[in-house]
Homo-oligomer: A and B are copies of this chain.
């Protein structure tokens, strides 16, 4: 089941065409990923990094931008887990207006599990495999654009 949060797109995050600048949308996806750790898993990402020495850096990314986002839009950001591997987790993230309907953009984000002390790939700890399980979505629930 996917998880979602509301996002305030900001005055200073606009490009010269008057719409959202896509690197900022990827920043928004990362912010929502951090909020998922805090608000859904109740284990803030800084605690994971600093105390557990575990991180999920992005190694591969695929994004599609379907419709522009403007200042004043407060898109809903959705997060689902598409695949849990041995040492990797693939997330599907997307934005909608008003929380439903066709996505404005979506991203498939492949992360590696990294031991932050050694800065080396490691296996996904069992505890997180279990905690991620409720957020798994099927490929057909990762919404396609218009």
Q: How far is B127's CA from A71's CA once the two chains are assembled, in angstroms?
A: 24
Q: How large is the interface on A (under 10, 10 to 19, 20 to 34, 35 or more residues)?
A: 35 or more
Contacting residue for A11 out of B21, B68, B71, CB 8 A: B21
Q: Is the CB of A61 within 8 A of B60?
A: no
Interface of A is mostly: mixed
Given contacts A18-B16, A61-B22, A63-B60, contact A71 B46 (CB under 8 A): yes
The interface-forming segment of A49-57, A90-98, A131-139 is: A49-57
Instruction: Point out the residues of chain B lying under 8 angstroms from A18, CB to CB.
Output: 16, 18
Q: How far is the CB of A77 from chain B (nearest CB, A)?
A: 14
**Contact (Cβ within 8 A) B12 A15:** yes
Q: Do B60 and A44 have beta carbons less than 8 Å apart?
A: no
- Whether, in the assembled complex, A129 has its beta carbon less than 8 Å from a beta carbon of chain B, the answer is no
